[in-house]
């Protein structure tokens, strides 16, 4: 559009009328609707689409305003929310400032969630089903893509009486993520596993190896620590207690493993609860459970790698969440009567 044409247009409609046209919306009250600018679309195509969607009343007024304000090259491709209740000035500002509809969602995976809890959360937050998420967690593709999964003793173990735990439980790193709206279960899992791979530093991996442990063992214990205690300093002490119990052949007796079996979060277990038959029952079975019971955060993982040695052999959590430690079974029972009854 030339300068002469622009002047003639403004003269034709009158300066007062022009000012009214660009400042007055098509409707006083109207719902917002999605408007898309495709890559490469020019001013004329944009104005045609605005008119077609009944967002503006006049293509000419829109194009004259864009030309006079020298905004013709400032339009940005993307999806926008526009309303006929916006005037031309407002519409142009939005389309040239890149106020596009966000193409991503923020999700927050909480420390200590297991894969089922993550699946339920994603079903509510994203456009995927938890059943699809659960199915992808069992996909054997992951072991070939991430070296840290290869020391899982259950991978490729066929013919066992007990069905192996899924190989990526424990490695779905808890964090805040930006996820594309059209992401599927595989995309989200890959993002979490990539994050785990990044957060488990080379130094941490070397220290695990020097201790004669595997990443699988560390994450399994860290998943229990994550559910048992919340304070970082307490976690290191609890890690030391668990390692001492493992070394001495004493049952870990972790309430968190029972809750994992039962699918609940009881603060205090009954005797019957501790008798439930499962390889994950650390009251009946010595050693670590078959695999992680949750997806631990970095502090629980570090506690499992760098435990604090003490004289303690027992601990419990008060209703307030504070951890109480004891050296003997008698002292532990005394603390139980004091704080849990």
Domain range summary for the chain, segments of one domain joined by +: 3-97, 107-310
- Interatomic CA distance for residues 79 and 81, integer angstroms: 7
Q: What is the pLDDT of residue 299?
A: 97
Q: What is the pLDDT of residue 162?
A: 41
**pTM above threshold 0.85:** no
Q: What is the pLDDT of residue 49?
A: 95
Q: From the centroid of its chain, how far is CA 31?
A: 32
- Interatomic CA distance for residues 171 and 194, integer angstroms: 9
Q: What is the pLDDT of residue 16?
A: 62
Structure tokens at 236: 């290191």
Structure tokens at 318: 């008060």
Structure tokens at 321: 């969440």
| Strand, coil or helix: 99 | coil
Q: Which residues pair with 82 in a beta bridge?
A: 33
Q: What is the pLDDT of residue 158?
A: 47
For 249, residues 6+ apart whose C-beta sits below 8 A from its C-beta are 286
Instruction: Number of helices (H) and strands (E) in the chain: give both, helices first.
Output: 15, 6
Residue owning tokens 């909480």: 110
Closest CA to 112 of 230, 3, 210, 19: 230
Q: What angle do CA 71, 76, 80 make, to 5 degrees?
A: 110
Q: What angle do CA 257, 260, 262 make, to 5 degrees?
A: 115
Q: What is the pLDDT of residue 275?
A: 94
- Assess contact for 204 and 214: CB atoms under 8 A: no
Give the CATH architecture of domain 3-97.
2-Layer Sandwich (3.30)
**Successive 10-residue mean pLDDT values, the chain, 341 residues:** 52 64 83 88 94 93 92 89 92 88 86 95 91 87 86 59 64 92 91 96 97 96 96 94 96 95 86 92 94 96 97 88 90 87 72
For 61, residues 6+ apart whose C-beta sits below 8 A from its C-beta are 13, 18, 21, 22, 88
Q: Which helix H or strand E contains 333, and what residues bound it?
A: helix 329-339
């Amino acid at each position: 559009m030339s300068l002469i044409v622009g002047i003639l247009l403004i003269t034709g409609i009158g300066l007062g009328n022009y000012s009214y046209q660009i400042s007055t919306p098509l409707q006083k009250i109207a719902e917002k609707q999605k408007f898309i600018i495709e890559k490469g679309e020019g001013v004329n195509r944009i104005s045609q689409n605005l008119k077609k969607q009944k967002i503006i009343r006049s293509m000419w007024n829109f194009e004259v305003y864009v030309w006079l304000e020298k905004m013709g090259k400032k339009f940005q491709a993307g999806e926008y929310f526009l309303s006929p209740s916006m005037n031309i000035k407002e519409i142009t500002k939005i389309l040239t400032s890149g106020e596009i509809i966000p193409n991503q969602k923020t999700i927050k995976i909480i420390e200590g969630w297991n894969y089922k809890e993550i699946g339920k959360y994603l079903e509510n937050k994203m456009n995927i089903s938890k059943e699809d998420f659960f199915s992808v967690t069992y996909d054997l593709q992951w072991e070939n893509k991430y070296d840290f999964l290869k020391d899982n003793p259950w991978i490729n173990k066929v013919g066992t009486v007990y069905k192996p735990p899924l190989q990526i439980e424990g490695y779905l790193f808890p964090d805040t993520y930006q996820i594309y709206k059209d992401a599927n279960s595989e995309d989200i899992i890959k993002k979490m596993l990539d994050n785990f791979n990044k957060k488990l530093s080379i130094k941490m991996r070397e220290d695990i190896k020097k201790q004669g442990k595997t990443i699988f063992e560390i994450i399994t214990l860290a998943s229990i620590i994550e559910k048992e205690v919340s304070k970082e300093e307490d976690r290191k002490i609890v890690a030391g207690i668990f390692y001492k119990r493992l070394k001495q052949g004493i049952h870990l007796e972790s309430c968190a493993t029972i809750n994992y079996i039962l699918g609940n979060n009881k603060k205090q277990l009954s005797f019957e609860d501790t008798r439930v038959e499962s390889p994950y029952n650390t009251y009946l079975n010595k050693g670590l459970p078959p695999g992680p019971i949750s997806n631990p955060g970095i502090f629980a993982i570090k506690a499992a790698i760098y435990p604090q040695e003490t004289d303690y052999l027992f601990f419990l959590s008060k209703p307030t969440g504070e951890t109480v430690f004891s050296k003997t079974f008698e002292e532990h029972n005394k603390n139980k009567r004091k704080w849990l009854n």
